Amino acid sequence: MKIKICGLTREEDIRIVNNVRPDYVGFVFAGNKRKVDEAQAARLRQLLDENIPAVGVFVNAPIEQIYRLVKAKTVQLVQLHGNEDEEYIKALNECCHVPVIKAFSVQSKIDIEKARKSSVPWVLLDNGNGGTGERFSWDLIASLQRPFFLAGGLSPENVREAAIYRPYALDVSSGVETNGKKDKEKIKRFVTYVRNL
């Protein structure tokens, strides 16, 4: 099972992940909380181990912005958290040629069905618009037969329970923070627990 540590904003965060080596990290280019600008993300990417792919997290962003970040090698994957439709995803694929993750806010089986039909390589299943630190009813994903990132309310304490649903990856942000900042010990614990499953 893969691990994504999302919402990195500080050089200190990069030092932590370079040490524990998750499979992915996330830079958020939307909202207010944990948002980074392009220059900040470029600096963080330079410090990040070259073998750890960075995922750019966007909400209804202009494709030109995503293209700039991909071309500059700041991000290696793209995660969409807005109302981006299949037409948008097609246009993105044509210009950027990087894997796309589409996020779905899960409240019912209808949301799971939408996720199942998406054309992207991976879907991400979350509660609300992401970053809430709360989980949705995981029982809804029991029958999903496609690779997915599981997000929302994850922490070192519930890794074992989350693993039962066989996600492709666990995506954590606030669950490895203390007072809104990434916490080295929580990140180490999260990664260790997943690796030992």
Is 96 assigned a catalytic role? no
- Positions of the chain with pLDDT lower than 70, given as ranges: 129-132
Please give the DSSP secondary-structure letter assigned to residue 192: H
Query: Where do we find the tokens 């070259």?
Result: 50
Taking alpha carbons only, the member of 85, 29, 55 closest to residue 169 is: 55
Position 101 scores a pLDDT of 98
**pTM for this entry:** 0.96
**Has domain 2-196 been given CATH number 3.20.20.70?**
yes
CA neighbours closer than 13 Å in the CB half-sphere of residue 132: 13
CB 13 within 8 A of CB 180: no
What are the sequence ranges of the domains in the chain?
Answer: 2-196
Tell me the sheet residues that pair with 169.
2, 149
Exactly one of 6, 13, 96, 171 is catalytic; name it: 6
- Cα distances from 174 to residues 33, 65, 92, 115, 157, in angstroms, run 11, 26, 29, 23, 13
Position 131 scores a pLDDT of 60
Position 129 scores a pLDDT of 62
Q: H or E element: which one contains 110? A: helix 109-117
Instruction: State how far the Cα of 139 lies from the Cα of 19, in Å rounded to an integer.
Output: 34
Exactly one of 13, 96, 126, 171 is catalytic; name it: 126
Instruction: State how far the Cα of 49 lies from the Cα of 8, in Å rounded to an integer.
Output: 14
Give tens-digit pLDDT for 52-80. 999 999 999 999 999 999 999 999 999 99
CA neighbours closer than 13 Å in the CB half-sphere of residue 150: 28
